[in-house]
Copies of this chain bind each other. A is one copy, B any other.
């Protein structure tokens, strides 16, 4: 809200046609047909993307986009290199690296609006900005991600330290807290991660994280959404109750995490055949993880003969009950679903976990259904900072990550469908002349405008045609035109033209800046 809402409502039609995709592609590496955008860095293949900037907190869970981008969009052209005319070169393809793409001015405008909206929400909730390097020492990233570790990008050794590209923003944040002995902090990172670190009364920061996700997803007008919530301790409780040995908890958790893109049958098969679970144990797990519902399901699980005997599960259930209470006070409880199949792939979660998905709405004319899946996710990670601290001091943390790139794809796709036009510049005034040999006067005039903070352009030609200048303003959506010619110069005036209404008024030169500012403030 606050920032850029007006533009948002113009840009995003308020109906959402995104269909509900499998929740997560976590632990499903090597999908080479998936293609993702990188903030500030253009577009990278999912692996590189997740490595470098961690789009969703616990990627690549909610990172892949299928069917939205395809490599055919990457323009390719064979060329004979002409680097140096006197050298012979073999043919090469001019293209961006596999899975990456450039962001055009139109795309940049959309991205900027989305990021502005997300950051303004983080600021509304009192978060401080923080940034960490794109690289970390390789050892900082080891044993934090579970099965995802194999997706981390290493840099070529430059004769010094072993470096890896960061895989998400959470592990670097925990490293920062431990390194600087920070015990409390509310931060946001690169416009899409938000975390609250510190020891507080239970579930208040957790509830705020979910409230933030609701504010952002409502504000972006992406259509209806749902936030699935679960707790790692409840999952652990289920595993224990079903008779899974503790050493297999992480591995089974990874399997459960695939339930959004694999059938229960396939997940069950993986648990039995690959992870060595007895079939009847797997079936018991299946009975639990296929449940979902509201706060009443929390109550029901309290009564469950197995879970009610498990200390971990009880702690998780108690927290979820409190969480639902706070979410009701925040007015967002109806957006939340307690979903026992939600696992989140990464190792570092210790408590509540959550993931937002867009709900498919009925298809409207002209809009193709989109496969989108999860657009925001997060959870509590109370042990991660302690892994970095010399004395193992813990700093409890809870956070969330907005799937900015996925949201961007949805909005972009929608705008394509509706053929919406976006201004890619913000130019307010165009400096024109109907006469030859007036470059000097135009240059003097435009410098005055620039120096007054007015966004202004002119044609880089000694003698442009007036019609060409008019057309340029119309095509680019520039609202005002100032015109200077011999007559105006003699009389000490400038013609100010409204491009839309085609009205022209003569303004005294010394009043021009004030008049332009007045006209701009009106529109």
Contact = CB atoms under 8 A, between A and B. Distances in A.
A15 interface: no
B38 A79 contact: no
A66 to B, nearest CB: 20
Contacts of A124: 450, 453-456
A160 interface: yes
Interface stretch (A132-140, A261-269, A399-407, A498-506): A132-140
A249 interface: no
Interface string A305-325: 000000000000000000000
Given A98-B161, A134-B44, A77 B179 contact: yes
A272 interface: no
A100 B135 contact: yes
How many subunits of this chain does the assembly comprise? 2
Interface stretch (A224-232, A360-368, A439-447): A439-447
A451 to B, nearest CB: 8
A97 B77 CA distance: 38
A514 to B, nearest CB: 16
Nearest to A123: B426
Contact of A108 (B131, B136, B140, B447): B131
A83 B387 contact: yes
B187 A94 contact: no
Given A100-B133, A179-B94, A450-B215, A40 B190 contact: yes
A201 B134 contact: no
A129 B108 contact: yes
Interface stretch (A17-25, A326-334, A349-357, A483-491): A326-334
A425 interface: yes
26 contacts: A40-B40, A40-B131, A42-B133, A79-B388, A79-B390, A82-B386, A83-B387, A94-B390, A96-B132, A97-B133, A97-B161, A97-B163, A105-B128, A108-B128, A108-B130, A109-B129, A123-B426, A125-B456, A125-B457, A126-B456, A126-B457, A127-B425, A155-B155, A200-B461, A215-B450, A329-B447
Interface of A: 1-2, 38-44, 47-48, 52, 75, 77-84, 92, 94-98, 100-105, 108-109, 112, 123-137, 139-140, 142-143, 153-156, 158, 160-161, 163, 175-176, 178-180, 186-187, 190, 196, 198, 200-201, 204-205, 207-208, 211, 215, 326, 329-331, 386-392, 424-427, 439-440, 443-444, 447, 450-451, 453-457, 460-462
